[in-house]
Amino acid sequence: MSGKMKIAVLYTGGTIGCEGSPLAPVSGELFRKRVYALPCFRNGCIRCSEGDIAFCIEWTTNPVDSSDLMPLDWVAIASWVLERYTCYDGFVILHGTDTMSWSASALSFLLQGLSKPVVFTGSQLPLASGRSDAVQNLLTAIMFAANFRISEVTLFFDHLLLRGNRSVKVDSRSFNAFLSPNYPVLGSAGIDLTVNSTVFLNPPGGSVSLDEQRNRALRKIEFSELRQALPEYSVIALTLFPGIQAGIVDALLTLSPSLKGIVLKSFGSGNAPASSGFIDALARASDKGVVIVDATQVLSGRVQMKRYETGYQLQRKVHAVCGHDLTAEATLAKLICLTGRAMIDGSGREAVERGIETVLCGEMTL
């Protein structure tokens, strides 16, 4: 490869690489061939006024619809970045839109200490479609990764660059499919690419930076152990609805592998019904060691557990942890990652609860 900046692109599947009816992802080899054949990509080279960008396209073993991606895949993607960390200036992850916010959130927690851009993108229409948004999304994501020192996991779609763990898919029919309800956008793409560097994460210090070989080696060990731990526990998201019954919570306690965490997608500013013994059922789960995070199902806003009695009871009786302004996607990804780390190092439930309440990589505002 030659060029001023070097970007590695990972194709995991998703609409961007789909064809047929019904749509299904093509192989990595065919997808790369189609991208390299496009004039703007010139066989792996993008020419722009800031300098040439050389990029390569790799792919997962089995590119899939993002609905089929699991937490073990998050670890695999993070490991792919880590293995190539010293060889490239930035990374682009091509991913289906349906679960992109979950994966981008998870990568932010798995790759703490990141000092290079990792940009998620995809498309609403396949690359081969005549009206596809795929080319512009891929091209612009690569340019953001190459031309700006953004020390975090981001998501670019349509014209917005968002913090990955603040992103939410809000539209399945529009090219402008993602928003960041509780945090400013990091950048935008019009005739020029612009960024708001005042809202970027600060570059990591040397003690945690993945620029340091020792830190990368420790993270590789953690990923190996996490692969073993993830199949040993369950973390679920429970969306509240009018009339929800206690039996639902009790049934969750019979899950195999055993339930370790619940993201409670509560009403409004963090409220849950007291009727039908529902709070008592949550308290029973908490007494059995299940971490319960109060995270609102409302798109914009934050949890304020003491505002109403129906929310305060979650804190007082259930000992639920406040999700503040975390997105539901980031809450679940964070809880899964923290639970895995606690199982690896034996730090236990208290460490998970402290981690939920701690800002790790810009995922919430206290």
* 123: number of Cβ within 10 Å: 26
Active site residues: 15, 97
Quickly state the pLDDT bin for 275 (edges 50, 70, 90).
confident
Neighbours of 326 (CB within 10 A): 27
**Cis previous bond, 22, omega within 30:** yes
For 258, 279, 300, the CA distances from 165, given in Å and listed in that order, are 26, 29, 14
pLDDT in tens, 287-319: 999 999 999 999 999 999 889 888 899 999 999
3-class DSSP state of 310: helix
Pick from 277, 360, 349, 362: nearest CA to 320: 349
Q: Is 98 part of any known ligand binding site?
A: yes
Q: CA-to-CA distance for 197 and 210, rounded, in angstroms?
A: 21
Burial class (CB in 10 A: 0-12, 13-18, 19+), 132: middle
Task: Give percent of the chain above pLDDT 70.
Answer: 99
pLDDT digits (tens, 9 = 90+) for 27-65: 999 999 999 999 999 889 998 877 789 999 999 999 999
Chain segment 188-206, per-residue pLDDT in tens: 999 999 999 999 999 998 8
* Average pLDDT rounded to a whole number, residues 249-277: 92
Helical (H) or strand (E) element with 103: helix 100-110
Burial profile 161-197: b = 16 or more Cβ within 10 angstroms, e = fewer: bbbbbbbbbeeeeebebbbbebbebbbbbeeebebee
**Is 97 known to sit in a ligand binding site?**
yes
How much is the pLDDT for 2? 44
Q: Per residue in 211-220, pLDDT tens?
A: 999 999 999 9
Mean pLDDT (the chain) is: 95
Q: Which pLDDT tens digit goes with each residue over 149-185?
A: 999 999 999 999 999 999 999 999 999 999 999 999 9
Report whether 188 belongs to an annotated binding site: no
**What mean pLDDT do residues 68-92 have?**
97
Residues forming a β-bridge with 55: 7
Q: Give the residue among 177, 188, 141 at the shortest CA–CA distance from 9.
A: 141
pLDDT given at position 3: 53
State yes or no: pLDDT of 68 exceeds 60.
yes
Tokens representing 213? 């070989």
- Say yes or no to pLDDT of 348 above 50: yes
Whether 276 has a pLDDT exceeding 80, the answer reads no
Domains defined along the chain, listed by start: 5-215 (3.40.50.1170), 233-356 (3.40.50.40)
What is the predicted pLDDT for the residue at 310?
84
**Residue 1 pLDDT greater than 60, yes or no:** no
pLDDT above 90 as % of the chain: 90
pLDDT tens column, 12-32: 999 999 999 999 999 999 999
Yes or no: say if 57 and 142 are a contact pair by the CB < 8 Å rule: no
Q: What is the mean pLDDT of residues 95-99?
A: 97
Residue 10: pLDDT band with limits 50, 70, 90: very high
